[in-house]
Structure 1
Amino acid sequence: MDNDTITAPATFPSLSAIGVIRISGGKTRGIMSSIFTLKNGKKPDFPHRSSVRGLIAGSSGIIDEAVAVFYESPRSYTGEDMAEISCHGNPFIVSAITSLICSKGGRIASPGEFTKRAFLNGKMDLSAAEAVKDIISAENKTALKLALSQLLGSENRAVSALREKLLSLMSEISAAIEFPEDAAAETGSFAPASAMDDLRERLLVLADIAGRGAMLKNGIRTVIIGRPNSGKSSLLNALAGTQRAIVTPSPGTTRDIIEVPVEIDGLPFKLVDTAGIRESSDAAEIEGVRLAKKAAAEADIALVLIDAGSSIDTEHNSALFNLADSRRSIAVVNKTDLNPAFNPKDIEKLAGFSGPVALVSALKKTGLDSLTNTIKSIIMGTDAAFPVNDIVITNLRHKEALLKAAQSLGSAVTALKNSAPVEPQLELVFADLKEAASFLGEITGAITDENLLEKIFADFCIGK
């Protein structure tokens, strides 16, 4: 890899004040010396870390005046000799300089290859490398804060600590295999069993946190469903603080999915308005209802709207609540500014729903604070502002690895507890623990394979 030198623009190809081009690899210093000339006509020698200003020129003449910063290995982002050229941000100039670098022995980098090299050269762990992509693609302030925390090592510290405990357990089991006479005294209650159970529970807690973190990173997808004219669009507008959905007295105004990103009490939401759910012969409305049902099934939170001014159709409203996960659903009784046609306390009896109930008036904008607190209590387990700093994992790949590790630990505990008193199946236990450690290693990069790395870095942008 030392002789393989890569290059790519690090800035978006559009008209701008500055464009940045990165180079990394063993030929970096030589390429920079060959294309760069100081204004006095001399060639810079680019010492271990330097910044120079001069002209970049190829065989056809001067391309641009630029500033170059050179970083000598290993004190660079990638751990290799590396340079960054800041030129004028005209895409033609950026493209010409990139092509010139390639003609001197460089090649265009693959997506994420700079960060991949940083990982392979020990400049960052794999979770931090993935955080780089999350920082670039963050869609809200919370997502950015979580990604920065991950980049700075919060996830690595949490997962590595658990993996170290796991490796320690493996050492105990290995010793028991090698010296069975010492382990015989532990018959029926081998010492590591309780430690394995404890570690498994901690992995499951971390996986649950990862699920919450993923929701915060992507925005809590909050889907509003209900019968036509129950006030779904009005509620979306009230929560968003602006009119984003059309509201008319006519039922069936909303036909398509309307998605609005908003921040409420510091948490990112994606509010989703849907078509009113009813039987229809209209093709467009039938498709709208299908999309509404699909959105409800995929929701992080489902707000099931019930019109306080209309009598409850028990069968229809029970069907509404069955569209989404009942553990993530809230019965929202809207239009409470009108004379209610039923007692909201009877929701469970009238609609078969025993979850939380929120009373709101989207028109008068009352009850919204209570509703958002109820949403937070479901997502975060508390109606107080959740401490985002407690979230250390937001990546669903990492959540899956944590769950797999917990499953392997569960198998190890079962094998240990079910072992014959005289001959405990410690080899099977050790194999399960080794598998769990491998899953955790896939998060930090302690255990990797090329297919995994290709899959991770393929989603990066070129130049990062």
Structure 2
Amino acid sequence: MFQLEPIAALATAPGIGAIAVLRVSGEGSIDITNRIFRGKDLTKQDSHTAHFGTLRTVDGHIIDEVLVTVFRAPKSFTKEDVVEISCHGSEFIIQQILRRLTQEGARLARPGEFTQRAFLNGQFDLVQAEAVADLISSDSEASHRAALSQLRGGFSKQLKLLRQQLIDFVALVELELDFGEEDVEFAHRDQLRQLMLDIRRVLHPLIDSFSTGNAIKNGVPTVIIGKPNAGKSTLLNALLNEEKAIVSDIPGTTRDVIEDELFIDGIRFRLIDTAGLREATDQIEAIGIERTQQKMRDSALVVYLFDGKNISPEELQTSVADIRLSGKPYLLVGNKLDALTDEKKQLLESIAAEPIVWISASQQTYLDDLKAALSARVRTDSAVQTGSAVVTNARHYEHLTGTDDALVRALTGLDAGVTPDWLAMDLRVALRHLGELTGEITTDDLLDSIFSKFCIGK
């Protein structure tokens, strides 16, 4: 653990509020704050204690009455000496305090610099550090749960342990290179193979979880498709409880995609209303239908909405078969239940041979059933349901797949009886990816790129 030059920043959101919190961290931060504080001598106070007093200008005028909390190294977020100043949330007061702190020797912090220092001082690894930013920006229960899991260690602790075991084997393989002419084998090949298989067993669920994790972090892209006048725009308006899309009896009214967000059971859905699927009557409608098909390809969930009153059994059967061929998770939603006979409803259910969620978008009835079905469809993914480790970061996904690719090459080489130098080369690539993932191997450019995305004061 080491302490760098003192830095200071506003830790709460900018703007007028009841209180604001400023954070100071680094060597001499307690002494710097003490020089502008009138109250108890902060340099003599225990860690994790709060003290009331005033902050003063250079000529002794009161800036504000404040509450100062002292955190002594290494028992702080950054593992450095840290002071947090709670003051009134006036922009003028905040700037005056920051000015005084810089006059006494602190400098203004860069974005993410407090978290970067926590990482450099071993408070947590790089995956956990990035989870801090995800936790701050989480806007749903699912994204909050995923970020919190990573902040608490998630999958990185397990990977660090397996990486260390792989390092030990690589050392033995490279030792064999010094005895190349003697045909000795220090690294037992069966044990090495088993270790690589164990690592891949850990990697695969994480790699597979990225599509789910990305949806959790950015919202589940949910496209509503169907024929013109099936009620797609009416349904979108009903779910959002606002007139988001134009509703008309004229087929082909929706010419472009319309998107908005809806939170259901702590999950953010990005609802996408699309142009009706049919033979286009003009060039503009053709473009809209092409965009519908593209959105369907890009979506994580498809809602196929059909007019239960006017659709034929043959048309429903063909549409369901086409959706199944797409390979996308989907829900069948029958609209205009209020105008449907029981006989027609039972016939369509027998043709679909799977559950249909029945609603009346215009009457706004049974929408809760649809919301429950949407939530249940997403929660069938075990990662969302159980809170297991989920990969939400593209950088993590890249290094996980890079590790797996290197291990596949190493396993193939092992089966082919390659020489230790070729085997060691692939193992080193796997180690590099694992090290860059958790931050055991870093560059200044990588750290600057990651932490520059944080807010100032964190």
TM-score by length of 1: 0.82
Q: 359, 378, 402: which is aligned to 1:362?
A: 359
Shift of 1:198: 4.0
Distance of aligned partners of 1:185 and 1:97 in 2 relative to their CA distance in 1, 3 Å threshold: closer
Shift of 1:318: 9.4
In structure 2, distance between residues paired with 1:344 and 1:196:
49
Distance of aligned partners of 1:103 and 1:372 in 2 relative to their CA distance in 1, 3 Å threshold: same
1:76 is aligned to 2:70: no
| 2:21/2:84 contact within 8 Å kept | yes
Shift of 1:386: 5.2
Shift of 1:333: 5.1
- TM alignment of 1:70-149, pairs within 5 A: 70-149=70-149
1:411 is aligned to 2:409: yes
- Equivalence for 1:183: 185
- Equivalence for 2:157: 157
Name the SS for the 1:77 alignment partner: coil
Q: Which amino acid aligns with 2:357?
A: V
CA deviations on 1:224-253 (whole Å, 9 max, x unpaired) are 122221222344466x48566555544345
Distance of aligned partners of 1:95 and 1:295 in 2 relative to their CA distance in 1, 3 Å threshold: farther
Q: Which amino acid aligns with 1:75?
A: K
- Equivalence for 1:394: 392
| 1:226/1:320 contact within 8 Å kept | no
Shift of 1:272: 2.5
Distance of aligned partners of 1:193 and 1:176 in 2 relative to their CA distance in 1, 3 Å threshold: farther
In structure 2, distance between residues paired with 1:460 and 1:87:
23
Shift of 1:176: 4.5
Distance of aligned partners of 1:459 and 1:369 in 2 relative to their CA distance in 1, 3 Å threshold: closer
| 1:333/1:357 contact within 8 Å kept | no
Distance of aligned partners of 1:345 and 1:68 in 2 relative to their CA distance in 1, 3 Å threshold: same
CA deviations on 1:306-346 (whole Å, 9 max, x unpaired) are 444234669x9599859xx9222426252374365985666
- Equivalence for 1:351: none
In structure 2, distance between residues paired with 1:70 and 1:45:
9
Distance of aligned partners of 1:159 and 1:280 in 2 relative to their CA distance in 1, 3 Å threshold: farther
In structure 2, distance between residues paired with 1:3 and 1:28:
10
In structure 2, distance between residues paired with 1:91 and 1:320:
59
| 1:128/1:151 contact within 8 Å kept | yes
- TM alignment of 1:340-379, pairs within 5 A: 358-363=355-360, 364-365=365-366, 368=370, 371-372=373-374, 375-376=377-378
In structure 2, distance between residues paired with 1:286 and 1:23:
59
- Equivalence for 1:458: 452
| 2:222/2:271 contact within 8 Å kept | yes
In structure 2, distance between residues paired with 1:374 and 1:96:
52
In structure 1, distance between residues paired with 2:160 and 2:211:
19
Shift of 1:174: 3.6
In structure 2, distance between residues paired with 1:302 and 1:21:
46
Distance of aligned partners of 1:43 and 1:208 in 2 relative to their CA distance in 1, 3 Å threshold: same
Percent identity (aligned): 34
Structure 2, unmatched stretches of 5+, are none
- TM alignment of 1:294-373, pairs within 5 A: 294-308=294-308, 309-311=310-312, 321=323, 326-330=326-330, 332=332, 334-335=334-335, 337=337, 338=340, 358-363=355-360, 364-365=365-366, 368=370, 371-372=373-374
In structure 1, distance between residues paired with 2:162 and 2:450:
23
In structure 2, distance between residues paired with 1:286 and 1:13:
47
In structure 2, distance between residues paired with 1:329 and 1:392:
19
Distance of aligned partners of 1:249 and 1:262 in 2 relative to their CA distance in 1, 3 Å threshold: farther
| 2:4/2:26 contact within 8 Å kept | yes
Name the SS for the 2:73 alignment partner: coil
In structure 1, distance between residues paired with 2:332 and 2:424:
51
In structure 1, distance between residues paired with 2:97 and 2:375:
54
Q: Which amino acid aligns with 1:56?
A: L
- Equivalence for 1:8: 9
Distance of aligned partners of 1:241 and 1:388 in 2 relative to their CA distance in 1, 3 Å threshold: farther
Shift of 1:52: 2.1
Distance of aligned partners of 1:358 and 1:250 in 2 relative to their CA distance in 1, 3 Å threshold: farther
Distance of aligned partners of 1:245 and 1:334 in 2 relative to their CA distance in 1, 3 Å threshold: farther
Shift of 1:21: 0.7
| 1:234/1:362 contact within 8 Å kept | no
In structure 1, distance between residues paired with 2:253 and 2:235:
14
CA deviations on 1:364-406 (whole Å, 9 max, x unpaired) are 53873884377337x616xxx9533223533232122111100
Shift of 1:438: 1.6
In structure 1, distance between residues paired with 2:12 and 2:118:
19
CA deviations on 1:46-84 (whole Å, 9 max, x unpaired) are 545243221112236321111112222222211222211
1:58 is aligned to 2:57: yes
Distance of aligned partners of 1:59 and 1:431 in 2 relative to their CA distance in 1, 3 Å threshold: same
Aligned residue pair count:
438
- TM alignment of 1:179-258, pairs within 5 A: 181-183=183-185, 191-236=191-236, 240=239, 242=241, 245-246=244-245, 247-254=247-254, 255-258=256-259
Q: Which amino acid aligns with 1:387?
A: Q
TM-score by length of 2: 0.83
Shift of 1:93: 0.9
In structure 1, distance between residues paired with 2:80 and 2:292:
52
In structure 2, distance between residues paired with 1:107 and 1:462:
13
| 2:262/2:270 contact within 8 Å kept | yes
| 1:72/1:82 contact within 8 Å kept | yes
- Equivalence for 2:420: 426
- Equivalence for 1:440: 434
Distance of aligned partners of 1:282 and 1:181 in 2 relative to their CA distance in 1, 3 Å threshold: closer
In structure 2, distance between residues paired with 1:80 and 1:331:
53
In structure 1, distance between residues paired with 2:88 and 2:288:
49
Name the SS for the 1:310 alignment partner: coil
| 1:304/1:332 contact within 8 Å kept | yes
In structure 1, distance between residues paired with 2:357 and 2:336:
6
Distance of aligned partners of 1:184 and 1:166 in 2 relative to their CA distance in 1, 3 Å threshold: closer
| 1:306/1:331 contact within 8 Å kept | no
